[in-house]
Chains A and B, each alone.
Chain A
Amino acid sequence: MNKARSNPLNTAMMHGALIVYTLIALFPVFVILINSFKERRSIFREPLALPNSESFSTIGYETVMQQGDFFLYFQNSMIVTVASLFFVLLFGAMAAYALSEYRFKGNMLMGLYLALGIMIPIRIGTVAILEMMVATGLVNTLWALILVYTAQGLPLAVFILSEFMRQVSDDLKNAGRIDGLSEYTIFFRLVLPLVRPAMATVAVFNMIPIWNDLWFPLILAPAEETKTLTLGSQVFIGQFVTDWNAVLSALSMAILPVLVLYVIFSRQLIRGITSGAVK
């Protein structure tokens, strides 16, 4: 075995660095969580103290549950995120496959055109998007958000996935063709499982910005029944008074589904890497 790798000092240092990084990354989440269980005064007096019998309070959660339709917001966010990710992955993978697998005129140009979106932020087009959504009657529907987020996620998805698809063995696809599989079967059954780690990467990259976005929900779907979680939490932040208990409680609850989705995708990531490939 590699000597450098089995050296206990190296291992300890590596783990030390990783643990420190984990602590730094988790610290804000930790602060939000503990303060969400404290009463208002203790939040400001000792923000880093754990809730004790004196300062413990669930007032924030109670406010969140009473005010506004929190579960609806939750559901909206979930629907928008999952649907957008699904479309980003589906269309992104299909476009990437076409670009990497088939030789056709303008292949390179098409690839560049699709990748252009990585450099140009979609928010520049907000006014035009709003006009389009009004014209098509999609304002205040979840579809408006799903479509925008799909468009926003596609460029990076196509870019990353086409790189990975190029690495999928030609022999495998040709074996499928000789065995009489259709191009769609080859794509869905042979190629997609092999690029699953890349798909998980793309999903994770896209998930957080969609879940956290405030801009497009505020502009395209501010109606009560289409509010997302981020937008819904804004009711607790006022110009003069902010209900910090409620804000922190809402945020704590908003973290959970992202964590669940992340765990699902990272499991896919690991499974994709370890599944037996061509050789």
Chain B
Amino acid sequence: MTALSLKNVNKSFGDVHVLKDINLDVDEGEFVVFVGPSGCGKSTLLRVIAGLEDATSGEIRIGGDVVNLTPPSKRGIAMVFQSYALYPHLNVRGNMTLALKQEGQSKSVIEERVQKASRMLNLEPYLERYPSELSGGQRQRVAIGRAIVREPELFLFDEPLSNLDAALRMNTRIEIAALHKQLGASMIYVTHDQTEAMTLADKIVVLRDGRVEQFGSPMELYNNPANQFVAGFLGSPSMNFFPAGLVSEGDDRTMGVRPEDLFIAEDGLLSARVSHVEKLGGDTNVIARLNDHQITARLFGQHSVEEGEELRLSFNPQSAYHFDQQGARLY
């Protein structure tokens, strides 16, 4: 059964067409990540699904029911916001129970769900505290707890990790993945961070300028990008693009090679001058100038490459991607 289905959803703010003909089906229990550069409409799409914005046209179904005219609280969703959005005048327990009280749940049900959620998120010692007395990570967990207690059909996450520091972000990412397994609920997650997208998602939706560029599993998108934009967006460091003419004379297409597919070879096709070296211990990222193009090579292990050095790089022709002038994938 599909948890969420969007049919030809459009959204305009005045003359600005923000979402263009979005079609999407999310299966029950799937973790779907919307990813794209800022301003691509991913947050707007989430808000349309939540009912915080009305779609200009198109049909939104959650759990089989058309919900275009249903208010957000009756859609069977729960949302976790980027800024946590905890109610400052309520303590943690109050924040978590407010929605259930509004739904008119009985006291015993509320108590049981709060118990369960706070145990899951290790929030038990903080139930009587106010948001201003919690750390960033704790507030994030309260925000997630507030969503869990509602036992929704669909969880919506709006860039929930972007306010956390790097170490905490990694931990919370793992916690969210564990939570998804534990709850088995469908989740939609918006982020601009492709690492979060790759690590969490069952399916990724890449958006650009209000259009779906590609929809598929992380490895499908990584191995088989539909166009130059998707190829460049997923993967870190991102894919190198250069004119294919540099490799074979008279070719006017664009060639894409992932940094991890480049290696140093005496008889390499590409000759580049090293402009910067990032030594990470496990890998070495070499940033070099190839004519007017910057290319990055990710070399495994530690290498003694110096700035200003002239390097010859090579790659397996099978691992290269070809794009036409409009950025569409050729093969």
Residues on A lying within 8 angstroms of B by beta carbon are: 169, 171-172, 174-181, 189-190, 193-194, 275-279
**Dominant SS among interface residues on chain A:** helix
Alpha-carbon distance A194/B83, docked complex (angstroms)? 15
For residue A172, which residues in chain B have a CB less than 8 angstroms away from its CB? 83, 85, 87
**Dominant SS among interface residues on chain B:** mixed
For residue B185, which residues in chain A have a CB less than 8 angstroms away from its CB? none
Alpha-carbon distance A174/B77, docked complex (angstroms)? 13
For residue A275, which residues in chain B have a CB less than 8 angstroms away from its CB? 88-89, 132
Alpha-carbon distance A179/B82, docked complex (angstroms)? 16
Chain B residue at minimal CB-CB distance from A177: B72
Residues on B lying within 8 angstroms of A by beta carbon are: 47, 50-52, 71-74, 77-79, 81-89, 98-99, 102-103, 130-133, 136, 146, 158, 163
The 8 Å CB contact of B84, one of A193, A194, A278, is: A278
Given A276-B131, A276-B133, A177–B82 Cβ distance below 8 Å?
Answer: no
For residue B132, which residues in chain A have a CB less than 8 angstroms away from its CB? 275-277
A-B contacts, 25 of them at CB < 8 A, read A171-B83, A171-B85, A174-B50, A174-B52, A174-B79, A175-B79, A175-B81, A175-B86, A177-B72, A178-B77, A178-B78, A178-B99, A179-B99, A179-B146, A180-B74, A180-B103, A181-B98, A181-B102, A189-B87, A193-B89, A275-B132, A276-B132, A277-B132, A278-B83, A278-B88
Chain A residue at minimal CB-CB distance from B14: A103
The 8 Å CB contact of A175, one of B47, B74, B85, B136, is: B85
Q: Are A178 and B130 in contact (CB under 8 A)?
A: no
Least CB distance from B227 to A in Å reads: 33
Closest 9 CB pairs of A and B: A276-B132, A180-B73, A179-B99, A171-B85, A180-B102, A171-B81, A175-B85, A172-B85, A178-B72
For residue A178, which residues in chain B have a CB less than 8 angstroms away from its CB? 50, 52, 72-73, 77-79, 99
* Contacts beyond the supplied A180-B99, A193-B88: 17 A-B pairs with Cβ under 8 Å: A169-B85, A171-B83, A171-B84, A172-B85, A172-B87, A175-B79, A177-B52, A177-B72, A179-B98, A179-B99, A180-B73, A189-B87, A275-B89, A275-B132, A278-B84, A278-B86, A279-B84
Chain B residue at minimal CB-CB distance from A194: B88
Chain A residue at minimal CB-CB distance from B53: A174
For residue B136, which residues in chain A have a CB less than 8 angstroms away from its CB? 279
Least CB distance from B197 to A in Å reads: 21
Least CB distance from B145 to A in Å reads: 13
